[in-house]
Structure 1
Amino acid sequence: MPTRSRATAIRSPLTVPVLILGPALLVTACASARPRGPEPLAIPVQPPAEVVGDDATEALPGERALAHAVVIRPPYREAFRFSPGGSAAAVAYRLELGDGAHVRVEAEPPLLRRGGVVIELLEIVDRSAPLASDLLRLVARAEPGAHELEARVVRGGEYVVRIQPAPGHEGLYRIAIVDAAPASGGEGSLVFPVAGVGVEAIRGGYGAPRDGGRRRHQGVDIFAPRGTPVLAVADGVVRGVSVSAAGGKVIWLEAEDGEVAYYYAHLDAQLVEVGTRVRAGDVIGRVGNTGNARRASPHLHFGVYRRGRRIALDPTPLLQAAVSAVPVNGESVEGDVGALGGSARTVEADVPVHAAPTEDAAVVDTLAAGALVKLLGATGRWYRVELPDGGIGFAPAARFEVAQ
């Protein structure tokens, strides 16, 4: 999905935001998969190295996000709807990273949107005090228009990830923070094309008869729940994004050497465009059952072709040797993602609100039956909610109904 951009040193925190290379990190960034506009994005992110006064702190979305930074443990995934002003203008996460740990942060933008966000990685200088700009050191930042940041941490410690969209680029983003090295295998190894599953999910084999034996299956079918991320199996360039009667929503990905093309069919969503350069493991679509698979369970038809898409190859040996990549948002969300940004009411009494999306996190409030909250995000079986008093916490999604 995204294309790579080179890391660039920054002379001053007030220059146009690009990647900053700190002494503790080796960083690369991934630009948006959507075509870039001709004008740079201006994203008002306060440089964390500056001391911010009390009045200014109240006015800055990035500072409000720090005040509500949630403690997480990678891998962590959340759907979050950014909106101008208030508690949803930016979001921050607090996490521990060990010596040599590799962290990847991705903010997948709304479908068919370019997505203009700044992603920052900040080191906590003083862990004994509440988060504030003068206690953080900006060590890496993905440039505006990018939506992915990768870093290998040389020095372990506690860090903060902060994400903030540019004005006009708000909306529903899917955020992933993963503490893991990129998938790698032997020379020529592919990344398995569906996140969270392996060869055991292949049910329709290569060469199987179709249409009463009139043709042969020229790929394999990989079954997974609708919406499961579909991944680029190798570095390459997207050469086709289309819809057909047989394949439904399809994507053609050409390998870097141009010798092989990979075919993805029956997609529920296509998240790239023709000409997009992708890296192995990037999310390019979502599993579905479009085309002639509409009566079947959701699955990905995956094919491998040579010589201009004319000669089909059996992908099974390649997939058996493939490595698994970390999915961008492989964890299912129980809450209503479409309701984020709106309100919900509790359907029973004594609903606990936790400081983080885990049962053992501190309870910061308890809601009565019929209590109204604003839905900011969703992760696993939890909603991130804004309470009437402005507090932020996480509550079980099953104990709410969306307010009409």
Structure 2
Amino acid sequence: MKFRPHYFIILISVIAACKSGPFNLLKPASPHQEYERKLVNAGLDQNKMGKAWIIKANNLLPNAVGIKLPYKESGYFAADKVDGAGFKFSLQRGQMLTVRLTKQSVDHFSIYMDFWERRDNGEFKVLAFADSIGAELQWEAKRSGEYFLRLQPELLGSGSYNLELVIGPSLAYPLKAVNRKQIQSFYGAGRDNNTRKHEGIDIFSAFRTPVLAIAEGTVTRVNENNLGGKVVWFRPKGKNYTLYYAHLDEQIATAGQQVLVGDTLGLMGNTGNAKTTPPHLHFGIYTSEGAVDPLPFVDPLVLPAPNIRSDLNKLNATLRTLNKTINISDNQQFSNPESLKNNTVLRVLAAVDNHYKIELPNGKIGYVANKSLVETKKMNALKISDQRSLLDYPNLAAGIKTTLTAGQTVNVLGNFEDFQLVSTSDGNIGWISL
């Protein structure tokens, strides 16, 4: 494709106006949607780059890569590409997701960040959003299931970014001293010869250890029953569930009392059906549909995202695989569902732990070990036997950059499917069919 300076000057001018000028349509739901509407309003959805940006936005969610949390990547969005990133991951009800996005660029460009869920009918619903100006997003999962995150930069902006996703509890811990090893019996375990299921978790500590309110709210009931002994029921403010504290030796809170995080509700014991067990708190959460697993709401084990151990200087670089077949993963802890052939050419999108997130020439995205890639230097010389077209993409329908004549020698840099990436003596780089 020929470079047209006047076209880019016009495009940059219009986009700059989009960023700062007034917008007279209905207020959109997110900065991403506002930017898209400004592109449409300016007529940029009719040119190749604007249309590609909108198509990219629509494809990022259904084609999102699966990741496991916590997750961290350092990536690069290039001005000459229509880039973006989509992620899908699982959350359990009660977990708090925190997403942190930072960027570095002389262009001061925006990266739009949207958080989504997919409904039972397959449609996506946006839950929260931000742009990269001080972007931190937090979300408490209201249901267990699959969620999605989309990152997309504005057109013609370039720069690096750091993305981190971590999960933790949405409520505080019910004891002052926090120790994950105190939790020794979990939701769903068999009880009474498997005639019923455990509807909570058991947190063990010393006799008469204070048990605490883990959110602001209201004590709804203080009573005794055969299973729980002395119990306290507590409704967190603004929530649609009730917390249940059982086997207390003493109840301190009273019905109707307004409490804050850290207020003492009672003292740990072994009343009710726990008379033969060491002192512990049975902690449960009840909704209108019944008991739910309380562990994700209070689990103090918060794992850090893995550090980046790959060379950030290779971001946005065109590399190739080593002289052997290597594995390509769709992530999910870097499983290896398929492999790449020798010397496959690819582009590095981001660094993740000791892997790179890469894009193949056909648009497929995956993860490969950082030690599996090398620079696209000369592999060998090839003498052209007959006239060939030097293509700008590994496809016979791609644009022709120049024509190679019989007897001309080129340097082979790598392969993809039935094509070779080559360079000519005058600096042209492109693809020829095998």
User: What TM-score results when the alignment is normalised by the length of structure 1?
Assistant: 0.47
Q: Which protein is bigger by CA-based radius of gyration?
A: 2
